[in-house]
Amino acid sequence: MTLNQITIYSNQVQKSIQFYTDLGLELIVDSAPRYVRFICPDQSTTFSIHEKAEATISPDIVLYFECDNVDEEVARLKRLNYEFEREVTDQPWMWREALLKDPNGNSIILYHAGDMRVNPPWKVKIQ
């Protein structure tokens, strides 16, 4: 089994298209404003947005997008006038992260974990 498709809801689909393409996702289905789908740079994971007039934000959901160099990516996005709620930070769980919000206020973490994403020192030992 593979998790390879995430869908969120938005009442600002057009602004979201610009935001997610600026993040580096490629628009592959454009039925805006009703529905759009992107493919991530890894070419295997897709991400879509459904229009919903009363889209609500759940503070419990955070979308994580891994990139090779978080510092360079944050600098690039700042040049495009994106503001970050949390600057690049080395986390205790060995990930390097920065936080910004999408047009609907969803939390977006840009991060780099490398091998630590699936093989941290505290990984459960499988027998």
> Average pLDDT, stretch 32-59?
91
pLDDT digit string, tens, across residues 77-114: 999 999 999 999 999 999 999 999 999 999 999 999 99
pLDDT of residue 73: 97
- Domains of the chain in sequence order: 5-117 (3.10.180.10)
Q: Is the pLDDT of residue 59 over 80?
A: no
Segment holding 23, helix H or strand E: helix 13-23
Quote helix, strand, coil % in the chain, to nearest 5: 20, 35, 45
